[in-house]
Amino acid sequence: MSTRTAAPGAAGTRPARQGTASPRRLAVVGLVIVAALGFLVYKGLTSAIVFFRTANQAIAQRAQLGNSTFQLEGTVVHGTVHRVGTNEVSFDIRQGGATIHVENAGDPPQMFKPGLPVVVVGHFVGSTDVFSSDQIMVKHSQQYIAEHPNRVRANS
């Protein structure tokens, strides 16, 4: 009986397995995928959270807030509402002795006017105390709720 060795790739022989990943390589790839998914979840959750601050809290925490998005509450100051362009408005809000200038992109709600409490959503611009907003929500006073009980829920 003679012993013959077949040439690589010859009929009846199994070619060497190519492209098989080692367990270590699979672990590294799995770790990278898990880290990427974790990062995406973290960024999604932190950008979806909108913090609520009053005007005086926002001024006191200006350095910590940086350019993060949050909700800012205050009362629209009389004599400060000005139209800028076709669908922008600028105004000041005041609460607890602090006043913040707001520049809002978009039309304000129909009930928006000086003297009413509002909540604006946005962020400070750079290192300034100018608040850039893209949403204004008018807070309904107890007097308004009493006069128009069918228009708004009492806990709005």
In-domain check, residue 66: yes
Q: 64 CB contacts (<8 Å, ≥6 apart)?
A: none
In-domain check, residue 118: yes
In-domain check, residue 54: yes
Of the ranges 18-22, 38-42, 43-47, which is most confident?
Answer: 38-42
Q: Which pLDDT band, with edges at 50, 70 and 90, does 39 fall under?
A: confident
Work out the average pLDDT over 42-64: 79
Separation CA 10–CA 7 (nearest Å): 5
**Domain residues for 141?**
50-147
In-domain check, residue 30: no
Work out the average pLDDT over 26-48: 83
CATH number for the domain spanning 60: value is 2.40.50.140
E strands within the chain?
Answer: 51-54, 70-76, 82-84, 88-95, 98-105, 117-124, 130-138
pLDDT value at residue 145: 53
Q: How far is CA 51 from the centre of its chain?
A: 9
pLDDT, one tens digit per residue, over 104-132 is 998 888 888 898 889 999 999 988 889 99
When divided into structural domains, the chain yields a total of 1
Residue 146 has pLDDT above 90, yes or no: no
In-domain check, residue 126: yes
In-domain check, residue 153: no
